[in-house]
A and B are shown apart, each in its own frame.
Chain A
Amino acid sequence: MKVELDEPKCVASGQCVVAAPDVFDQRDDDGVAILLEDQPGAELLDDVREAVAVCPAAAIRLVEQ
C-alpha cells in the first residue's frame, strides 16, 4: 500500500499520529503531519485506514496496490 498526504490540507490535529504512530508524526513548529513511511507494511494497514478515516481534513489517502 501507498500512503499519500495532501500537506496543504493538513490542519495539524495530530489525529493521524494517535491512530498510526508508526506511520505519522507532526512537525514540531506548526504540527503539520509528516509521513514517516509512505509504503508501510501490511501489518500497519488497519492503523493507516483508521488515520484516513479520522483525519478531520481528509488529507490522507491510501492507495492499496
Chain B
Amino acid sequence: MTRIVVVGASAAGLAAAETLRREGYTGTLTLVGEEPRPPYDRPPLSKQVLAAEWEPDRVALRTPADLSGLDLDLRLGVAATALDLATQEVWLSDGAQVSYDRLVIATGVRPRRLPGEGAHVLRTLDDALTLRERLGPGRKLVVVGAGFLGAEAAAVAWRLGAEVTLLEPAPVPLAHAVGERVGQVLAQAHVDHGVKLRTGVSVTEVTDEGVRLGTGEEIEADEVLVAIGSLPNTEWLADSGLSVGDGVVCDEYCEAAKNVYAAGDVARWYNPLFETSMRIEHRTNAAEQGMAAARNLLNSEARKAFSPVPYFWSDQYDMKIQAYGYLRGHDEVAVVDGDLGERRFVAAYRTGDRLTGALAVGMPPKAIRVWRQAIVAGASWQEVVHGATTV
C-alpha cells in the first residue's frame, strides 16, 4: 500500500489523515479539500465566531507546523468530481486524476436551502463572517429552522441586540430528536429572552423583503438565515457504484466497498451498540469515525466495529445542553435529575427496553458522564431508571 487518498479536509478527513500517520503509514497521503482554507473547526461558527468573540484564525484545527508534519499531498480548493472503483481513481475539479490503494470519503454535508436569493446559510467560516457583519442592535433577523444550529444562531443574534424571529415548521422544535416535552422546554428559552418563536409555519421562499410563508404571509427581515438541515455531499459518487442513500452506506467497520471507507457527516454506517444504521452530524463523531476508519483501513486483518456512543453539545443563551447516545426514535423520556421548569435537568431516553440516551441541561457536565457509562454498558431501562417521571 503506497497511496492513500482522503477526500474531505475537515474534522473527519483530518482525523483520518493524522491517524494513518500515527499508526505508521509512510506512503503518499493525499488530502483533498473543497474549501481553500486549511482544516478548521465548525462548532464555534454559530457560537464564538458569530458573536465576534473569536477572530477567524482561532478556529484552525492544527497549526501550520502540525499540518506540515503530516507530510501531506494537500490539495485545497479542489473538489472531487467522480470516483471509479474499478480503476481506483478519483477525479478532481482541477482536472487531475489521483489513483489510490485505499480511499477515505469524508466529504461532509452542505446546508439545505430555500427557493429565492439572498439568504444566509451557516456552514463555512465565510458564511459565519458574512452573517456576523450584518448582525447588530435593531437589525431584523429571521431564522428559518429551530434546530440546534438555528437556535444557537438565534441566541447569539439576540445577544448582539438583533430583533430575532425564529420560524419552525414542526409544532415543537427538536421534538423528533429530544422529545416533545424537552423540545418545549428548550423552545421556551427563546420566548423568555424575547425572541419571537413561531412554530408550525412552513416557509416557502426567500424574498427581497424577507420570507414568504405557505399561507402567503410575508415576514420582513433585514437578514434571513436558513438552518433547515443538511444534505450529504454524495453527488460525486452517483455513477461510482457505491451504495448511497442519505449518506455513503457502510458496514460496521466504516467500509463502503473494497478499499473504500467513509467517515463523518457523510457516512451512514451500522452501529452495533445501538443495533441500527445511523448517520451522525456531530463534531465528536467526525473525529472518532475518521480515526476508526483509518485504523480499519490499515489493519484489515484486525478490524474493529465502530460502535461509539454519539455525543453532542449546544450552547444557547445561558444554557449548556449535552447529550450522549442515540435519541432518535426513542419510545420514552423520563426526567431522572433536576427540574424541567428550571431548565436544569437530566432526561433519560428509552428505546425498546434499553437506555439509549441521556440529555442534560444546565447540569455539571461530570454528572452526565455516568449516563454515558450506562449507555456503553447497554444498561436496561429497568436497571437504571427507577421511579423517574415520564414526560
Chain A positions within 8 Å of B, measured between CB atoms, are 9, 11-15, 17-18, 26, 28-31, 49-50, 53-58, 61
Contact = CB atoms under 8 A, between A and B. Distances in A.
Nearest to B60: A58
Contact of B288 (A12, A29, A54): A54
Contacts of B62: 58
Contacts of A26: 365-366
B103 to A, nearest CB: 21
Given A13-B284, A15-B311, A57 B41 contact: yes
Given A15-B284, A57-B43, 19 more contacts: A9-B58, A11-B43, A11-B315, A12-B322, A13-B284, A13-B311, A13-B365, A14-B366, A15-B311, A17-B369, A26-B366, A28-B366, A31-B365, A54-B287, A54-B288, A56-B43, A58-B41, A58-B60, A58-B61
Contacts of A17: 369
Contacts of A49: 22
B320 A53 contact: no
Interface in B355-390: 364-366, 369, 372
Contacts of A12: 313, 320, 322, 365
Question: Does more than half of chain B's interface fall in helix, strand or loop, or is it mixed?
Answer: helix
A61 B43 CA distance: 19
Nearest to B61: A58
Contacts of A55: 287
Contact of B283 (A28, A31, A56): A56
Interface string B23-61: 000000000000000000101100000000000001011
A54 B366 contact: no
Given A13-B313, A53-B15, A53-B19, A30 B283 contact: no
A31 B75 CA distance: 38
A53 B369 contact: no
B18 interface: yes
A28 B288 CA distance: 25
A53 B287 contact: yes
A14 B365 contact: yes
A13 B287 CA distance: 14
14 contacts: A11-B43, A12-B322, A13-B284, A14-B369, A15-B311, A26-B366, A28-B366, A31-B365, A53-B287, A53-B291, A54-B284, A54-B288, A56-B283, A56-B313
Contacts of B61: 58
Contact of A11 (B288, B313, B369): B313
A32 B62 CA distance: 21
A61 B66 CA distance: 10
A55 B366 CA distance: 16
Contacts of A54: 284, 287-288, 291
Contacts of B63: 61
B366 A53 contact: no
Contact of B18 (A14, A29, A31, A53): A53
Nearest to A11: B313
Contacts of A31: 364-366
